[in-house]
Structure 1
Amino acid sequence: MSIVHLQNVEMTNATANFADPYIFRVTFECISPLSEDIEWKLIYVGSAASSKYDQELDSCMVGPVPVGVNSFEFEAEAPSPSKIPETDLLGVTVILLTASYKDAEFIRVGYYVNNFLEKEYLESRPDLQQYVDDPNKVLDLTKVDLDVTKLRREVLVSKPRVTRFNIKWDFEDAPAQQSDSLQTSQHTSNMTAVA
């Protein structure tokens, strides 16, 4: 049985410039006292090809955690574009919000992120006109001098992927199992714990 139930994750800036920080409001319920803090992390998946491009954007310790409903704001800096392969800078990737207790991850919330260039920027560049004319054409950043300050991101907050892991809490021995569920809403991810 989980001691911490994630109730809600709200992202206040789902559509923003690529370089803007990620800002979350996290609400969770703790149903029993905890002897240690909870560690929260935000990870940007830089490439589906290899985890070596993953960037831990920030982490924070939350605690002591009282019994009841708790809420906090988590702000993490944007990923470094120089650490992302050029072929993966545009398009769809993932961010992962994770929570761990005593170094054991017990919940992971994944969101799809679409990184794109505004149509106006593409239209202002004659060398990029072909990508305006054919939106299905893939922009090869290795052949284009791109101003990364023009990159935008859109986080698909309405469709989070929530994975829960059974861990050993302070009072029990729990087997290593996981359960997946998906709860959605507009601009807010409402999540209910699975017993």
Structure 2
Amino acid sequence: MASRVNICQVNILNNPAEFTSKFNLEITFELFEYLPKDLEWELVYVRSGTSSEYDQVLDSALVGPVPEGRHKFVFDAPCPNVAKIPTEDIVGVSVLLLRCKYNEQEFINLGWFVSNEYVDEELKENPPAQPLVDKVFYYCAQKIRKNCSKKFLDSLCNLLFYLIRKVEIDDLRVTTHSIKWIEEEAADEFPEANESVGHFFSFLLFDFRKSYRNFLLLKKL
């Protein structure tokens, strides 16, 4: 059966942002028929292309029951837990997945690749062995004096973070699955929605890494 939900638009409101900032997604979707149960939205941070062990579900939200028509809401989710990411994978390319389920069946996921890069040029050229993701340069606070001008403080605020993330919104990948929207539909008409999710994560991240490398090469030409 055709999908009863159409995701019209997803705007990432704080992009680019500090690595430690929350994700803020403004989601607009349309229902073609009333759904008596909740839609479950889930935001996943994928850092490894070889294992789902390091995938992090940042947050989930239930929306519903939802009447027919167009709807909009803002989905806030925390940044990934750095302690759960391998050190060598913190800086570089990652994947952000927005998944939506109905009645415990995933029917769509949207994927973007995310670049996590240092702001400071020196750190870009000579990245430390232990990635720096703290929000502020703590040593700066010790050097700020009470008589500093507002202009100086404003300029300093632009340097008060190490790592910045950028969601590449122009390279959106969408995968859909057929599901049972009502219990009366025959189960054998529909494949398992989540059957190959792990393989999809791996393929998606590999594909994004390749695309991102090509993107960087083009920028240097």
Q: TM-score range by the shorter chain?
A: 0.7 to 0.9
- Structure 1 residue 147 displacement after superposition: 4.9
Change (3 A) 1:145 1:35: closer
Structure number with higher strand proportion = 1
Q: Which residue of 1 aligns with 2:125?
A: 132
- Counterpart AA for 2:125: V
Tell me the residue number matched to 2:16: 15
1:40-61 CA distances to partner (integer Å, 9 max, x unpaired)? 0000012222111011000000
Identity of aligned residues (%): 39
Corresponding residue number in structure 2 for 1:76: 77
Q: Indicate the SS of the match to 2:7.
A: strand
What is residue 4 of structure 2 aligned with on the other side? 3
Q: Provide the residue aligned with 1:146 in structure 2.
A: 132
Which of 165, 179, 193 in structure 2 is aligned with 1:167? 179
Distance 1:132 1:104, change over 3 A: same
Q: Is the 8 A contact 1:14 1:156 kept in 2?
A: no
Aligned equivalents of 2:26, 2:99: Cα separation in 1 = 14
Counterpart in the other structure of 1:176:
191
- The letter of the residue matching 1:154 is K
Which amino acid letter does the alignment assign opposite residue 132 of structure 1? E
Shift of 1:33: 1.4
C-alpha displacement of 1:159: 1.2
Q: Which has the higher helix share?
A: 2
CA distance in 1, matches of 2:61, 2:106: 14
Q: Is there any run of 5+ residues in structure 2 with no aligned partner, and where? A: 136-161, 194-221
Task: Label 1:145 to 1:86 Cα distance change in 2 as closer, same or farther (>3 A).
Answer: closer
Bigger-Rg structure (1/2): 2
CA RMSD, 1 decimal: 1.9
* Native 8 Å contact 1:14 1:157 kept in 2: no
Partner-residue secondary structure (3-state), 1:64? coil
Q: Secondary structure at the match of 1:169?
A: coil
Quote the offset at 1:145 in angstroms. 6.4
Structure 2 letter corresponding to 1:155: V
Work out the number of aligned pairs and report it. 163
TM-score normalised to structure 1 length: 0.77
Structure 1: segments with no counterpart, 5+ residues: 134-138, 179-195
Quick one: structure 1 residues 82 and 177, their matched pair in 2 at CA, closer, same or farther if it must change by over 3 Å? Answer: closer
- Pairwise CA distance, 1:158: 1.3
